[in-house]
Amino acid sequence: MLISVVVPCMNEEASIPVLVERLSKVVAPYGDRAEVLLVDDGSTDATWSAIERARATFPCLRGIRLSANRGHQIALTAGLEAAQGERIFMLDADLQDPPELLGDMMGMMDRGYDVVYGRRNERQGETLFKRATAWVFYRVLNAMSDIEIPRDTGDFRLVSRKALDAILSMPERARFVRGMFAWAGFSQIGIEYARAPRELGDTKYPLRKMIRFAVDAMTAFSTKPLKFATRMSFASLGFSALMMIYVAHSLIVYQTAPGWASVVLVISLFSGVQLLTLGILGEYIGRLYVEAKNRPLYFVSEDTRSADLLPLRKVV
């Protein structure tokens, strides 16, 4: 198997026919040396039925259905574990990232690169808020991270089997795939493209999920938030020492008691610092708790290659 195409799908019933049509043209030059894996991440619509119908006319398509919704990164991991190709092409089902770039990416990999990622030089159809938050996310992430993660990129990329095997050997449960490829190293290069607007279906990343994703990304690749919490604690201690000197000076020189405004201000300030520090610590403790349980990332309930429940799959 030369090329495997991995596509996580979540409530993408409307997109599946168009997706399969475009992918069939993209992988046609590779004949039976190509496979397409569509991973249904516990969809609540007819996504799985659409995948089964598509397979009837597209023999190299394989559908994998997870037993429950586990999130985009876990669904992507499920597809990557099942992929058999020497090269693995990843994209989303919304077709905002053009699968037609596969040929150009293959050409770059022929030159010796292990990872060819798509870099968005234009975000068509996205709101100013979405573009602004995406810009801030990548800059803040790199400022907080211990590694350099390519800016304005997603999981749209072509990777070699060597690079993929390195990623699959990482045991963490909270997965940030694009960061994991950056951490693994290997020879990488970007290819720029204009990201098209979503034409079918709705986005699966509302603001709440975007914030959760950003927190996972930062805590997965850096201890800088913990260092920041420590610095904030020392800064608050220093500020409180100055406040003590000020209060003592006021009592001695002006013989006045501190007013309620200064008391409320100081209490609010230090309460905020304490809660922020506890929140940062809680994020890391929560990650340790999840990792310690060592549960499987997902279960597969259906596979178009087998009518039976597949054996448990997990990252080892």
pTM: 0.68
Task: Give 302's strand partners.
Answer: 65
Going by the DSSP 8-state scheme, the letter that residue 114 receives in this structure is S
Tell me what pLDDT residue 312 has: 42
Tell me what pLDDT residue 5 has: 93
**Residue 50: alpha-carbon gap to chain centroid:** 25
Other CB atoms within 10 A of residue 290 CB: 13
Looking at domain 3-222+295-303, which CATH architecture does it have? Answer: Alpha-Beta Complex (3.90)
Distance, in Å, from the CA atom of 187 to the CA atom of 248, rounded to the nearest integer, reads: 62
SS3 109: helix
Tell me what pLDDT residue 202 has: 62
Contact 10, 42 (CB under 8 A): yes
Average pLDDT for runs of 10 along the chain of length 316: 88 87 90 90 87 86 88 88 91 87 90 88 68 69 69 84 89 79 84 75 61 66 68 70 67 59 64 70 71 76 62 43
Residue 270: closest CA among 239, 310, 228: 239
Tell me what pLDDT residue 252 has: 65
Q: How far is CA 216 from CA 9, 174, 212, 241, in A?
A: 21, 7, 6, 35
Contact 207, 137 (CB under 8 A): no
Distance, in Å, from the CA atom of 66 to the CA atom of 75, rounded to the nearest integer, reads: 8
Distance, in Å, from the CA atom of 168 to the CA atom of 55, rounded to the nearest integer, reads: 27
Question: Cα Rg for the chain, rounded, in angstroms?
Answer: 24
Distance, in Å, from the CA atom of 185 to the CA atom of 182, rounded to the nearest integer, reads: 6
Domain boundaries, the chain: 3-222+295-303, 224-293
Residue 65: closest CA among 1, 12, 24, 25: 12
